[in-house]
Chains A and B, each alone.
Chain A
Amino acid sequence: MTRFDLGGMALRLFTALMMLFLIFPIGVTLIVSLNPREFLLPPTGITFEWFRAAWTSETFLRGMGVSLVLGVSASLIANALALPASMALVRNEFRGKGAVSLFIMSPMLIPTTIFSLALYIYFVRIGYGSGLLPLLVGHTIHVLPFAMRIQSASLHRFDPSLEEAARNVGAGRLRTLVSITLPTIRTGLVSSFALCFILSWNDFPISVFLAPPGWTPLPVELFSYIKFQYDAVAAALASSLIVLSAIAMVLIDRFAGLRRVMRG
């Protein structure tokens, strides 16, 4: 009785085309970076020559260093701020709770342009000028809502009676936190850190606004490079970034469920 399902077929075909559209630029970059003859597709073989060039380029290495320092510090600070806050919000009911959570999540609602401009003007105004601090603040606040989201999700699944039990047998607040709470939500912390790091590591809009001279994060270096030449060395660098993002995606998905944290 099953009729030939034209609608279902069309839906399937359209989805396949859309997936091709989404994955195409990523796949092309990976292929170009492994292809010995610069740019010519289809590939004629496999080489890691471009990767060697990208990973020994002084400019890119410096950019990587900046992005690494920035990503690690922004993620650490954002998570340190988010952990106590999400604990307070998940475990307590109080008047104004909705308003407080909305306020903490609000950086997500401000367009990057305006947020970056605001920080830029603000630091000029307070006489700091341009330096590393605005860049670090920009990255930290950008990733903070994501840290809140993952941590709240992992705390929701945490059974508070575990903590009560520890307190009952005489453990202090700090002891309970270190030996019960943190180990239990460790997967949430790992994925939160991974997400914050990868968002900061790949960020372009905030960095291009706020990076001070001498402190250019990797994506901005890559952008200035491909403005003038988009050879296979750039492809190798881009591919390295893709591989790193893929690893982070697996990690986040494993521990927190990627979809829940990326949704709008």
Chain B
Amino acid sequence: MLRRIAPPLVPVVIVLLIFVVAPMLWVFRTSFNELVDGAYMVDALTLKNYTRFLGNPWYLMNTLWFSIRIAVVTTAISVVCAYPVALYVARTHGLQRNILMTLIMAPLLIGLVTLVYGWIVIFRGGGLLNSLMIALHVYDEPVRYMWNIKGVVILLVYIGTPYIVLSLLDSIEKISPYLVEAARNVGASRWTAFWKIVFPLTMPGLYAGLVIVFSLNFAAFAVPLMVGDTSTQMIGLVIYREALLNNDLPFASALSVIMIAVNALILVGMAALFGRLILRKLESDR
């Protein structure tokens, strides 16, 4: 048995061990190294990189807490944007559905830089949106939408929403239409039927979408790099800067370990919350 199954699996497993597992372990090891002035990093066993970050209220507030807040806010907005779309798409068929699905997935396959270009045309000082708003006398002076936190939030919502639509759609399509019909037949209003039947059943999809998009946004570095400004200290971007611009690999590694740990902690919290929400729902319906 093993002799038959192992050979086709061995190459991919070896590649992953060499190029994923070993590098990830090495990041952990590197986080205890020391950066010596003038020299390159030196093998050491120090907690300095961790205390430099965790012992510094400025970093904690402006990097870690800031990233968590941005990720929470953008994920929440994405959910609000995605939920109605998923409900609507679930009802469509044929050509209309194909068109909608193509539009939803287009941003996932078109590169980030390409999308950013379009947003710049819309959002820059003399861009489309400002020209329109000034022509409509909404305001007189161009407003800055890009190269600050506003641009980062808009872009993260833009990229996150399709993922949440897709994972919600998975759940919604599993719901039997007879359930809703039955509820309506026994006199539930459309709203009650949605709230009591459809919504609880979409929890797994919602949770899956939240996990993906929260993790993506919490770790984001390409978006803040492209449309943020120097005050946008998201942790992913700080890692990028420390590694490539300051060449401080030990500190960048420690930040990575902290990022993974915090992300895992938040996901565990979310799992507990969702488990409890579903349980409470079941109990109250009993």
Instruction: List residues of chain A with CB under 8 Å of any chain B CB.
Output: 7, 10-12, 14-15, 18-19, 21-29, 32, 39, 41, 81-82, 84-85, 87-89, 92, 94, 100, 103-104, 106-107, 109-115, 117-122, 124-125, 137, 140-141, 144, 198-199, 201-205, 208-209, 219-220, 222-223, 226, 230, 234-235, 238, 241-242, 245-246, 248-249, 253, 258-259, 262-264
Contact A262 B109 (CB under 8 A): yes
Contact A198 B20 (CB under 8 A): no
- Checking B124, B166, B209 against A259 with a beta-carbon cut-off of 8 angstroms, the contacting residue is B166
- Which of B176-184, B195-203, B238-246, B278-286 forms part of the interface with chain A? B238-246
CA distance A23 to B9 in the complex (A): 41
CA distance A85 to B240 in the complex (A): 33
CA distance A203 to B26 in the complex (A): 25
Contact B100 A19 (CB under 8 A): yes
**Nearest Cβ on chain A to B26's Cβ, whole angstroms:** 5
Contact B113 A121 (CB under 8 A): no
Contact A111 B23 (CB under 8 A): no
Contacts of B76 in A (CB 8 A): none
B15 within 8 A of partner (CB)? yes
Q: Mark B107-119, 1 if CB is under 8 A from A, else 0.
A: 1111111111111
Q: A22-B106, A111-B216, A249-B106 are known contacts. Are A121 and B9 too (CB-CB below 8 A)?
A: no
Q: Mark B1-40, 1 if CB is under 8 A from A, else 0.
A: 1001101110111011001101110110010000000000
Q: How many residues of B contact A (CB 8 A)?
A: 83
Contact A120 B107 (CB under 8 A): no
Contact A262 B26 (CB under 8 A): no
Q: List 26 A-B contacts (CB under 8 A).
A: A10-B84, A18-B84, A19-B100, A19-B104, A82-B12, A84-B7, A88-B5, A104-B12, A104-B16, A112-B222, A113-B219, A113-B240, A113-B256, A118-B23, A118-B26, A119-B23, A121-B249, A144-B12, A201-B111, A204-B111, A222-B113, A226-B116, A234-B117, A241-B114, A249-B102, A264-B212
B167 within 8 A of partner (CB)? yes
CA distance A246 to B260 in the complex (A): 34
Contact B24 A219 (CB under 8 A): no
Contacts of A114 in B (CB 8 A): 24, 27, 219, 239, 256, 259-260
Contacts of B119 in A (CB 8 A): 25
- Which of B52-60, B136-144, B156-164, B268-276 forms part of the interface with chain A? B156-164
B266 within 8 A of partner (CB)? no
Chain B residue, CB-CB nearest to A12: B88
Q: A85-B12, A121-B249, A122-B26 are known contacts. Are A24 and B114 too (CB-CB below 8 A)?
A: no
- Checking A39, A84, A110, A253 against B24 with a beta-carbon cut-off of 8 angstroms, the contacting residue is A110
Contact B5 A92 (CB under 8 A): yes
Contact B253 A22 (CB under 8 A): no
Contacts of A234 in B (CB 8 A): 117
CA distance A226 to B190 in the complex (A): 49
Contacts of B236 in A (CB 8 A): 111, 113
B87 within 8 A of partner (CB)? yes
Contacts of A141 in B (CB 8 A): 15-16, 19-20
Contacts of A15 in B (CB 8 A): 84-85, 88-89, 100
Q: Mark B198-234, 1 if CB is under 8 A from A, else 0.
A: 0000000000110010011011011001100000000
